[in-house]
A and B are shown apart, each in its own frame.
Chain A
Amino acid sequence: MLTRIALHSLASRRTTALITVFSITVSLFVLLGISHIRHEAKHSFGQAVSGVDLIVGPRTGQLNLLLYAVFHLGNATNNIDWKSYEILKDHPDVAWSIPLSLGDSHQGYPVLGTIPEYFHLFRYGQRQALAFFSGQAFKRPYDVVLGAEVASALNYNIGDKLVLAHGMATTSFSLHQNSPFQVSGILAPTGTPVDRTLHIDLSDLKAIHQDWQSGTLAPSHQHDNSDHHFNTEPESVTAVMVGMKNRLTTFNLQREINNYQDEALMAILPGIALSELWQMMSWVEKTLGFIALLVLFASLLGLATMLLSTLQQRRRETALLRVLGLRPLALLVLLELEALLLVATGAIAAISLLKAGLIMTQPLLSQRYGLFLSEHILTGHLLNTLGLVFAATFVIALLPAVSAYRQGLHSSLQPR
C-alpha cells in the first residue's frame, strides 16, 4: 500500500521526479560504466596470454614489447634477427618458441606472421588452447587463418580471398595486391586479441615483402608474386614467445637474453608486465571512479533536496495520513520508498543505457584498443556496486525521511 502511495505521490510530482531520475541515471551510468570497464579490462588483459614464460623482443620498454607482442597494438620500432631467434630456439632450456612478426594489416586488423605450431602452442585464459571454428591451420602458400571477430566483422568464410595492406592504418594506400591470401581456417572466439588478428605463415610474410623497399613497391616488380615463394627464410621477427622446459630456469634465460652480446635483446615475463600495465592504468581508473562517486553523491543530495522541498507541500497530506491512522514511522518509510524508487528507476535506465552503449561500441573498442568488454553487465560485481548505491540512498534519504517522521509526529488535524 505504501508503495502504491509512493508511486502516485511521485507521479504527481513528475517533473521534479524525472529531473532527479535523469541526474541519477547519468551518475549511475558513469559509475557503473567505469566499474564495468575496469572489471572487464582487467579480465580481458589477464586473459590475453597464458603459459608463455618469456616474451623476447628488441630492447625497448617492457610495456611496449608487451603491447605489440600480445595485444598487437602500436608498432614495433625494431626487429630481432632471425639468427638470434634460431639460437634462442635451440637453447637447451627452451621447450618451445613461437616467432611473431607484425606490421601489416587488413582493414585495420593486425596481421601476425608466425609458424603453424602457433595454433597448438599458444595458450590464453586458463591455459586454454586455440580451437578452429572451421577449416585448419595454414598449409599451402598464401593461406590465412582468421580470428573469430575478423571473420564475423568482415564476413569471411573458408576459401574467401583477401588482400593485406602494408602498415597498420585502417585505410592503407599500399596494398599487397599481387599476393591475395585465401582463408584456410577460422578460429573459435577467445575474447583475446587473437580474435581480431589475421594469422599467416612467416614465409608468406617474407614473400610479400620481397619486392618492397623502404615501404613502397619497387617499380620494376609489379608482377605476380607466386614465383617468389622459395627460399623464404625470414630475415627477422618482431618478437618471440618462449616456453621453458623447467620454469625455474626462466630467470636465468631472461638474464642471459638481456645480456646477449650480438644484439640488443630483451626478455620480459608476461605476468609481471601485465600487472605493471594494470598498475599503470589503475590510478586513472581510481581517479575516474572517485569522480563518479562524487557525481553520484551530488545527485543523491539532489534527490534528498527534492524530497525535502516537497515536505512543505506535504504538510496537509501528512496531517491527513496521520488522521487516517498512518504511523509517523510509515511516513519515514514512505519517503525512503520514494527515494529508492527514484534510484531504482535511475539504475534501470543507467543499466539499459550502458548495455546499449556497450553493444554499440564493442566492435570499436576491441578493434582500436584491444578491449573485450562483455555486454553481460549484470555480474555479481555490478550487483555489489548497486547494493552500495541503494545503501547510500537509504542513508542520504534519511534526511528528508526523518523530517517527514517528525512532521508526522507533531502533526495536528488541519495545519493551516
Chain B
Amino acid sequence: MLSPSAIAIENLVFRYPGKTAAPVLSIRHWQVEPGQRVFLSGPSGGGKTTLLNLLAGVTTATDGKLEVLGVELAKLSNRQRDRFRASHIGMVFQQFNLIPYLSILDNLLLAARLGGTSSTTAKKRAISLFTALGLDNDILAKRPEHLSTGQQQRAAIARALVNAPAILLADEPTSALDNVLRDNFIQHLLTATEEWNSTLIFVSHDHNLSHCFQQAVSMQAINRPETREC
C-alpha cells in the first residue's frame, strides 16, 4: 500500500472570516511526499504564515481540500485537530519557542505529554536529540532566558521533534540568528530531521538558504488568489 502524501492540497481557499474580500490564499494543487525537505520562500504577506496555520490545523480552510498525512484536517473536531497537531506536527518559530518560566526539560516534557509520548521515551529522545543538535545536556535544567539565541533555537528543534512528528514546520527559524549561527542551525536541523525521518517545510524569505534543501518552492508559484475567481 502506498503511504499517503505528507501534504496534499486541492483547490484550497482561505479567506478571513466575515470578510468578502479576495482570498488570502488560493492553492490549486500542492503535494509534498513523506521525508522530503522543502524550502518555501515568498515575500511577507504572501500567505506563508496562513498556509502554515492551515497545515498545523490552527485555522481551517474556507473551501477546498487539505490533507496532512492522509487526514483531512477540516473534518476533525477542534479537539481532534489539537491532538493531531500535538502528536504529528512539530513547529519551530523565529522566536518564543519555549515557555519562558519552564526549564528546557519541562518544555520538552510538556510537548511530550501533550503529544502522547511517555516521559521516559521523551527523556531518552531528548538526550539523543541534544547530541544530534550539538547541545550540552546541562542546559536541560536551565530556563530559556539563560540560553544563547542559538542554543534556544536548537532547543526549539529538540522540543519540536520530541514526539517524533512526521512533519516539521519551521517558520523563519533563522531570522534571529547571525550567519554563522544560521548555517550551524540549518546543519543541525537537517541532521535531526534526517535522523527522525521527518518531512520538513522550511519557510524563509532568505533565498541563500534554498540550496540546502531537496526542493525549493516559491509561494507565488503555488498561491494564485487572483486567478482563482476566473
In the bound complex, do residue A413 and residue B53 qualify as a contact, i.e. CB atoms below 8 Å apart?
yes
Q: Nearest CB to that of A11 among chain B residues?
A: B101
In the bound complex, do residue A325 and residue B106 qualify as a contact, i.e. CB atoms below 8 Å apart?
no
Q: Which residues of A contact B82 (CB under 8 A)?
A: 322, 325-327
Interface string of A396-415 (1 = CB under 8 A from B): 00000000000000011110
In the bound complex, do residue A414 and residue B93 qualify as a contact, i.e. CB atoms below 8 Å apart?
yes
Interface string of A2-33 (1 = CB under 8 A from B): 00110011011000000000000000000000
Q: Nearest CB to that of B87 among chain A residues?
A: A325
In the bound complex, do residue B102 and residue A325 qualify as a contact, i.e. CB atoms below 8 Å apart?
no
Q: Which residues of A contact B96 (CB under 8 A)?
A: 316, 320, 414
Out of B83, B93, B101, name the residue touching A8 (CB < 8 Å): B101
In the bound complex, do residue A325 and residue B86 qualify as a contact, i.e. CB atoms below 8 Å apart?
yes
In the bound complex, do residue B99 and residue A317 qualify as a contact, i.e. CB atoms below 8 Å apart?
yes
In the bound complex, do residue B87 and residue A12 qualify as a contact, i.e. CB atoms below 8 Å apart?
no
Answer yes or no: A154 CB below 8 A from chain B CBs.
no
In the bound complex, do residue A414 and residue B101 qualify as a contact, i.e. CB atoms below 8 Å apart?
no
Q: Nearest CB to that of B113 among chain A residues?
A: A1
In the bound complex, do residue A325 and residue B115 qualify as a contact, i.e. CB atoms below 8 Å apart?
yes
A325-B85, A325-B114, A413-B53 in contact; A320/B97 too (CB < 8 A)? yes
Interface string of A298-341 (1 = CB under 8 A from B): 00000000000000000011001111111110000000000000
Answer yes or no: B129 CB below 8 A from chain A CBs.
no
Interface string of B85-118 (1 = CB under 8 A from A): 1110001011011111110001000110111000
Q: Which residues of A contact B110 (CB under 8 A)?
A: 1, 5, 324
Answer yes or no: B11 CB below 8 A from chain A CBs.
no
Number of A residues contacting the other chain (C-beta, 8 Å)? 22
Shortest Cβ distance from B126 into chain A, in angstroms? Answer: 15
A1-B110, A8-B106, A325-B114 in contact; A412/B99 too (CB < 8 A)? no
Shortest Cβ distance from B101 into chain A, in angstroms? Answer: 4
Complex Cα–Cα for A5 and B106 (A): 9
Shortest Cβ distance from A176 into chain B, in angstroms? Answer: 71
Complex Cα–Cα for A198 and B214 (A): 99
Q: Which residues of A contact B98 (CB under 8 A)?
A: 320
Answer yes or no: B131 CB below 8 A from chain A CBs.
no
Shortest Cβ distance from A16 into chain B, in angstroms? Answer: 14
Q: Which residues of B contact A323 (CB under 8 A)?
A: 56, 58, 85, 91
Out of B49, B53, B102, name the residue touching A5 (CB < 8 Å): B102
Complex Cα–Cα for A278 and B18 (A): 65
Complex Cα–Cα for A328 and B94 (A): 23
Complex Cα–Cα for A322 and B56 (A): 10
In the bound complex, do residue A5 and residue B99 qualify as a contact, i.e. CB atoms below 8 Å apart?
yes
Answer yes or no: B36 CB below 8 A from chain A CBs.
no
Q: Which residues of B contact A8 (CB under 8 A)?
A: 99, 101-102, 106
In the bound complex, do residue B58 and residue A412 qualify as a contact, i.e. CB atoms below 8 Å apart?
yes
Q: Which residues of A contact B106 (CB under 8 A)?
A: 4, 8
Q: Which residues of B contact A316 (CB under 8 A)?
A: 96
Within 8 A of B (CB), among A338-364: none
| Chain B residues packing against A (C-beta within 8 Å) | 49, 52-53, 56, 58-59, 78-79, 82-83, 85-87, 91, 93-94, 96-102, 106, 110-111, 113-115, 171
Q: Can you give 28 contacting A-B residue pairs, CB < 8 Å? A: A1-B113, A4-B106, A5-B110, A8-B101, A9-B101, A316-B96, A317-B100, A320-B97, A320-B98, A323-B56, A324-B115, A325-B82, A325-B83, A325-B87, A325-B114, A325-B115, A326-B82, A327-B78, A327-B79, A327-B82, A411-B58, A412-B59, A413-B53, A413-B58, A413-B171, A414-B49, A414-B94, A414-B171
Given contacts A12-B101, A326-B82, A328-B78, 18 further A-B contacts (CB under 8 A): A1-B110, A5-B110, A8-B101, A320-B98, A320-B99, A324-B114, A324-B115, A325-B83, A325-B115, A326-B114, A327-B79, A412-B59, A413-B53, A413-B58, A413-B91, A414-B93, A414-B94, A414-B96
